[in-house]
Structure 1
């Protein structure tokens, strides 16, 4: 079923687990996420990165929305890391009701201005907005951010930012990185605790690929209710294609595609278990869950 991102995050937060948000690029990726979520009886999110949006355009959005509607578990569809107003507007017009307005590459005043404008636009469509304060290093989807450009999220600045922009969820930078961790990850949980103590909206952690279970669990305890996963799923897809094609050149196209789906699905299922969302789909199919999300959104508007 096509679900509200707001409802998914709020229900996850109140029940102390996190939603897995997985970047998708094609039918195989979409099927892997939905199949894994259904087998695990888990909610999940299909995420479209701007690079994937430029590649698949409105057809990719339509594919994700239809897959979510047809799923037997709650699935929401989200535009990830969008830095361009035109992309956000196009996604909203195409039917997305969940977007990330990413102004983290801008100065703080410019980020605030961009995010406030995109939030006002998205809310006109009834859409949920995630934003980012601080800047995450690493490489993903052709975008590289040097470690020296990374900036941790300031807890006090985060409060000001949320109040000024009206965003619905906040991605934080506490030592997490996009892509592969080149050294053992070190997350600043004291910083995360201070942010959680100051903010009531859902918190998001990007760069969950490669984080050990103990760090995932501690992040959830401190209020993170959405993890973004891309690198490990992409690697499973590419590795499967290489293995299938190189080892048996006579294999049928659909056999190769099926093997890729299975490889990605295995990674995704592991993440759903790690995030604690497996066997929680029933929590989202109640009047209370939808009321909770509605009340949360209303409280921020007052």
Structure 2
């Protein structure tokens, strides 16, 4: 199997009315756990590399690593560059073989967001690479983009329609009440807003960022309303990698190989749980 585009998987998700889970990774163990969970559930999966992770792993290494893991586990995987503000970095990712990229110009004015996003779409589309963009502000912290919960601005449905028409993006991240990182209180998603955006853009895959800590029932409601990609980052990083590694290395006589096995197993378990909620099991191929 191989790396595929997000546009390909999103079109299937829209027809089947499910969401494709997207997980951040920053180590090989982390990535293998994601692939193992997807393979066990026969689900499509999106492996997301953040800008911070890319500065460590590098574009070329990341692509080759994902190609190898997808082949070893016999799955179709989308390799996605997450929350990038740098046009040149996005171009390098496209050149090296990423199949999906996100340009995050949400902190800019509407006009500047459109201009930069349209440039990315123009470049990426030459190579068949999918483009995600963001309109509105998702609260919390994501690499170098910081927006406090109080200042977070929800996506205006009519602006979303105009933005998609102005840019030609393949997927749209919307601000509807989620935040990046762990929640300080139970999240309150604006489901009518999701439904309205989907009503205006019935064929545009909507993306929900800040999936860690969102109740399963809220995921299901968001998917019913039109969300087709849900990002999970913090949960996998903290519970799938940090906690397990700390516990593993605390055991006398343990070595990195045994800790790697624990990380892979825990990440796979988290991935499988999310796949069941998002309805993407048995949707691969």
Q: If the TM-score is normalised by the length of the shorter chain, which range does it land in?
A: over 0.9
What are the superposed Cα offsets for residues 23-79 of structure 1, whole Å, 9 maximum, x if unpaired?
111111110011001111111111111111111002122211332244323211111
Conservation of the 8 A alpha-carbon contact between 1:140 and 1:231: no
Distance in 1 (CA, whole Å) between partners of 2:79 and 2:127 is 15
Q: Runs of at least 4 residues of structure 1 off by over 6 A? A: none
CA distance in 2, matches of 1:211, 1:169: 21
Number of the residue aligned with 1:243: 247
CA distance in structure 1 between the partners assigned to 2:150 and 2:121 by the alignment = 29
Which residue of 2 is the match for residue 207 of structure 1? 210
Aligned pairs, number: 281
* TM-superposition CA deviations, 1:174-225 (whole Å, max 9, x none): 0011111111110111111110011121111111111111111111111111
C-alpha contact (below 8 Å) 2:106/2:113 kept by paired residues = yes
Q: Please state if 1:279 is matched with 2:277.
A: no
Cα distance in 2 between the residues matched to 1:157 and 1:16? 24
- Out of 141, 153, 156, the position equivalent to 1:154 is 156
**Which runs of 5 or more structure 1 residues have no equivalent in the other structure?**
286-302
Report the Cα offset of residue 141 of structure 1.
4.4
Preserved CA contact (<8 Å) 2:101 2:131? yes
Match of 2:99 among 88, 97, 100: 97
Partner of 2:32: 31
Which of the residues 62, 65, 69 maps onto 1:63?
Answer: 65
* TM-score, normalised via structure 1 length: 0.90
Contact (CA 8 Å) 2:249, 2:255: kept in 1 or not?
Answer: no
Name the SS for the 1:266 alignment partner. Answer: helix
Gaps of 5+ in 2: none
With 137-146 and 94-103 compared, the bigger mean Cα shift is at 137-146
Output the CA distance in 1 between the equivalents of 2:63 and 2:148.
31
Counterpart for residue 136 of structure 2? 134
| Residue 54 (structure 2) pairs with residue 53 (structure 1) | yes
2:227 is the counterpart of 1:224: yes
Secondary structure in 2 aligned to 1:164? Answer: helix
3-state SS of 2:150 partner: helix
Secondary structure of the residue aligned to 2:273 is helix
Three-state SS of the structure 1 residue aligned to 2:112 is helix
Please report how far the alpha carbon of residue 109 of structure 1 lies from its aligned counterpart in structure 2 after TM superposition. Answer: 1.3
- Structure 1 residue 142, shift from structure 2 partner: 6.5
User: What residue in structure 1 maps to residue 190 of structure 2?
Assistant: 188
Structure 2 CA distance for aligned equivalents of residues 150 and 64 of structure 1: 33
Aligned counterpart, 2:17: 16
CA distance in 2, matches of 1:153, 1:65: 35
